[in-house]
Amino acid sequence: MLGVHKAVFPVAGIDTRFLPATKASPKEMLPVIDKPLIQYAVEEAIAAGITELIFVTGRGKRVIEDHFDKSYEVEHVLRARGNQKLVELVQSIKPPEVECVYVRQAEPLGLGHAVLCAEKLIDGEPFAIILADDLLTGQPPVLAQMVHIFSHYDSSVLAVEEFASHEASSHGVIDGRHWDERVINVSSIVEKPTPEAAPSSFGVAGRYVLMPSIFEHLRALVPAGNGEIQLTPAIHSMLKDEQVLAYEFVGKRYDCGTKLGYLQATVDFALRHAEVQDAFDAWLHDRLRSSHPSVGESGLSGGQAGPGIFPPH
């Protein structure tokens, strides 16, 4: 059985959809409640057994390195204040058994190009790619589910979910045949088709476990008119030579690369956050009742009073 020990986090995009917040700070550092998106992604990777985290960074992304680095000043101040709990919280951001490596993408020439920047570090092993702006919840965590499928079938695996037809143009969309309830043998994949041209209603969420042969296909691609190299056409090219599977993960995706998805994640995570859930639930309930009097008396987070508006995860 093949193991997966390395994960690539491409974080070198220009983040136009969150300007001005992302003018000087990367979107991967946007917090959902009290944790940046990139930390949720790293925790998911570690839960899947990943021990080498490879960040493909670009201009203005230094703060990501700082986040996973030791901070003597912060720890010193917290210790001096006797706040051992916070010292441990800060230290737990990067467990000692995990190594962080950084490689720079000099120009934002597309996701495929960013992945190519990590080729030397991958060194011929199967590896995961995690796009941190897709925040995925699942139990077990989604990447762990995928590593299980990868090891079982010895094939590259793409995380997919069903989407509404009007959303086709914001996904890579696959075609293929179901092997079982959740595993699809992929026959083609297209990047952001029009709803009419979409071959199915299964779109790729930002998680991949790939064989290292992807690099040959990335290198052989002719850059698009804007100079970018995308990952989707390289995966399509891979299909000529080898099997690629899509896996309908068990869990929920929040597209935190969009304002709406980011807000949805913030609300759902707040309704499950031990420190704020009760007060936030009560506030949100009052807020909704004042604008929608038909909202009932039960809490929104699905507590004892009723099923709630938001599903438990």
Site for ligand UTP in 164-203 (CB under 6 A): none
Parallel, antiparallel or unpaired: strands 127-130 and 202-210: antiparallel
Return contacts of 225-231, CB within 8 angstroms, 24+ apart.
227/109, 227/110, 228/109, 228/110, 228/112, 228/113, 229/109, 229/110, 229/112, 229/113, 229/116, 230/110, 230/111, 230/112, 230/191, 231/110, 231/111, 231/112, 231/115, 231/129, 231/172
Which of residues 155 and 230 has its CB atom nearest to ligand UTP in the complex? 230
14 part of the interface to ligand UTP, by CB under 6 A: yes
Which range, of 8-16, 33-41, 156-164, 179-187, touches ligand UTP by CB under 6 A?
8-16
Q: What is the C-alpha to C-alpha distance for residues 8 and 115, in angstroms, rounded to an integer?
A: 7
Which of residues 189 and 284 has its CB atom nearest to ligand UTP in the complex? 189
105 part of the interface to ligand UTP, by CB under 6 A: yes
Q: What is the C-alpha to C-alpha distance for residues 30 and 206, in angstroms, rounded to an integer?
A: 17
Kindly write out the interface string for residues 132-151 of this chain, putting x where it contacts ligand UTP by CB under 6 A and - elsewhere: -x------------------
Q: What is the C-alpha to C-alpha distance for residues 239 and 237, in angstroms, rounded to an integer?
A: 5
11 part of the interface to ligand UTP, by CB under 6 A: yes
Residue linked to tokens 């056409």: 233
159 part of the interface to ligand UTP, by CB under 6 A: no
Which of residues 159 and 271 has its CB atom nearest to ligand UTP in the complex? 159
Out of 5, 17, 35, 272, the only residue in the binding site for ligand UTP (CB under 6 A) is 17
15 part of the interface to ligand UTP, by CB under 6 A: yes
CB of 108 to ligand UTP, least distance (A): 3
Which residues are near ligand UTP by CB under 6 A? 10-17, 56, 105, 108-111, 113-114, 131, 133, 257
